[in-house]
Amino acid sequence: MDPIIILAGAGTLAVIIVIAGIFMTRSEENLVEERFGRFEDDQEAQSLFNIEGPDDEVEGDGSNGDARSAILNPLNNALQERKFGKTWRRKLARANIKLTVAEFAALHVVASGGALTLGWLFLFPGDPVMSVAAAFIGFFAPRIYVNRIIGSRLIAFETQLPDTLGLWVNALRSGYSVLQAMEAIAKDAPEPTMTEFQRVVQEVQIGIDMPDALEHLLERVESEDLDLVVTAVNIQREVGGNLAEILEVISHTIRERIKLKGEIRVLTSQGRITGYLISFLPIGLALFLNLANPGYMGVLFTDRACGWPMIGGGLALIGIGSAVIQKIIDIEI
């Protein structure tokens, strides 16, 4: 059978699987709710690691949902206990992406197959080396996307943290308790602060200790500023003191740190852009020349004795240069 037909069929099947998975995504269940059973009325509760619960009941016999659960649940249980599965689960929670480990693993396979099909049929017709390279890039595309979402959420949370602490201080001075102040933050704060504090409040309401709930928050939002806040709250609960004044001092400190980070980011912007150019310009130029004149660039990919070592050496040097530049512009505060 023609390889092109096989690849096209595989790519089509992969797209169908992704679309079916999106429409059949199950509802979320809080991690702690597993200790007490399923709470059908609490659809907004979300777990620390976004572990999905049983499928919602639908009209009919529900055989499709049961069959899907019978296939995905054992696979998910097997994957999430492994080291990479725990890492994926933690990153999905930090990105607030409601996927199980098994679904995220399937997304890797689908993205790799789709990139392979796209490279073989359109970008590099008949070129197995470049098609495999495209598949390799597609395999890491979901991880790159999740990491970018985590980074953007972390930046947004840290930017909102001084205002969040100001709201917290005002609520405490108005006579609210710590939990009531956090409820006010969960109602009035923007995303992603609102979602993260809602999770803390929900966990405390169903029986989790406040220090444990705050530790879960710190695991979802890996921020040094938040670590300082959580430490202050935990110490105040043990030894007492005026929490409003403590949080006000921390808020001022965080504002100054954010201001300093912004100034450093502006001063290092030229080096950061230089790193991007050094990293991606040679690759983009090679792809453009391969499309414009395949005969000229094809020797580089077909000559295994000389061309392939040159490609490997070039990629290694690009990676080293990018790493050195990132190390130079990464200034700790």
For residue 152, what pLDDT is reported? 92
Which residues in the chain come in under a pLDDT of 50?
A: 1-3, 5-7, 18, 21-63, 65
Identify the pLDDT of residue 261: 84
Confidence at residue 68, expressed as pLDDT on a 0 to 100 scale = 55
pLDDT in tens, 314-333: 888 888 888 888 888 888 77
* Alpha helices, DSSP H, located in 81-127: 83-95, 101-118
- Between CA 59 and CA 47 the distance in angstroms is 27
pLDDT at position 39 is 40
Concatenated DSSP letters for 3-15? HHHHHHHHHHHHH
Residue 79's pLDDT is what? 75
Query: What is the rounded CA–CA span in Å between residue 134 and residue 70?
Result: 33
Query: Cα–Cα distance between 90 and 84 in angstroms, integer?
Result: 10
Answering whether pTM is above 0.95, one says no
Which helix (H) or strand (E) covers residue 291, if one does? helix 269-292
- Which position has the token pair 């290694």? 316
Give Cα separations from 101 to 1, 152, 193, 212, 300 (angstroms). Answer: 35, 22, 25, 24, 39
